[in-house]
Amino acid sequence: MVNETVPKGLNFILSIQNSESKSFASIHQRPLTTVVLAMSADGKISDVGQSNPHFGSKHDYDHLEQQVALADAVLFGSTTLKTGGTAMRVITPERIAERVKNGKPEQPIQIVCTRTGEIDPSLKFFQQPIPRYLLTTPAGAKRWQTQAGFDCVISAQTDQIDLHYGLTELYKSGVKSIAVLGGGEIVAALLEADLIDELHLTVCPILLGGKDAPTPVAGAGFLQGQAPHLELLSVKQVEGELFLHYRVLH
Ligand SMILES: NC(=O)c1ccc[n+]([C@@H]2O[C@H](COP(=O)([O-])OP(=O)(O)OC[C@H]3O[C@@H](n4cnc5c(N)ncnc54)[C@H](OP(=O)(O)O)[C@@H]3O)[C@@H](O)[C@H]2O)c1
């Protein structure tokens, strides 16, 4: 069953959003960032064992691939890479052809965020036919100085990852849109830096529970007065799942 609820005035909102998206990157001098995550009905993005999430349906997988296919780059935290071992790339030939038709490379750039640079070079990720970038600190960059694996290493001269600097450098190299595929730690860091623009959250009909199970936004948390507010752009129901699309009100 497909059931789309279009909030009042959505067409108006979407037309503003589309025109904003076109010029967003050039106005802000950084890529438009969109979080794409599947979560349980109780708001967990993995189980308490941090296993690679498999609770989304084929519709959710298709939605995820679509968002990846639309982006110039995909960004994720090192724990997400360690859990899955591979990057989410575009597989469907029509989507690859559409990218090429639009003047884009077949695959978006895959950007790993790590402060330490501690990533196992034997991960299957390093054999995938994809462009790989590392967003890290000088210490993390040093680890990969003599080790092949990344096509580009971005690091500011700071102990912590400078996300503003990283996104500005990516923008300068032609990245206008980024799909942020989690996990909660990197989403929280980007939100704290006011660097998230949109979210696609799929609510899946399963309860995972567990106070330590990862959620879409980890980090220290926001007090209500400082919490980012969202505008609901669309809600789509496909069988038992809800596909929510939000915009962050900056
Ligand atoms: N359901 C879904 O759609 C979905 C999607 C993605 C992930 N997941 C699940 O989410 C879990 C992982 O999420 P997570 O929140 O634990 O980890 P995460 O956000 O994937 O990665 C966190 C790691 O990123 C690095 N990092 C780089 N810059 C950072 C910064 N500014 N702030 C914080 N960390 C930074 C740190 O690792 P270093 O030590 O390397 O510096 C940190 O430990 C896994 O279980 C995964 O399967 C679910």
User: Any idea what the CATH number is for the domain that residue 55 is in?
Assistant: 3.40.430.10
5 pLDDT above the threshold of 50:
no
Cα 39 from Cα 13, distance rounded (Å): 26
14 pLDDT above the threshold of 90:
no
pTM of the full structure: 0.93
> Ligand 1 test: best mutation among 78, 135, 142, 162, most atoms within 8 Å of CB?
78
Q: Residue 249's pLDDT band (boundaries 50, 70, 90)?
A: very high
* Ligand 1 neighbour 80 (Cβ under 6 A): yes
Tell me, in angstroms, the distance from the centre of ligand 1 to residue 213's CA: 12
Q: What is the tens place of the pLDDT at every residue in 180-194?
A: 999 999 999 999 999
Q: How many domains does the chain have?
A: 1
Q: What is the tens place of the pLDDT at every residue in 200-225?
A: 999 999 999 999 999 999 999 999 99
Q: What is the tens place of the pLDDT at every residue in 40-73?
A: 999 999 999 998 999 999 999 999 999 999 999 9
* Ligand 1 neighbour 190 (Cβ under 6 A): no
* 127 phi, psi to nearest 5 deg: -100, -10
* Ligand 1 neighbour 181 (Cβ under 6 A): yes
**CA torsion sign, 71 to 73 to 75 to 80?**
positive
Report the first-to-last Cα separation within the chain, whole angstroms: 34
245 pLDDT above the threshold of 60:
yes
Cβ–Cβ under 8 Å, residues 216 and 182: yes
Where in the sequence is the domain holding 182, given as residue range(s)? 2-249
Closest C-alpha to ligand 1, atom 26: 114
Cα 18 from Cα 12, distance rounded (Å): 10
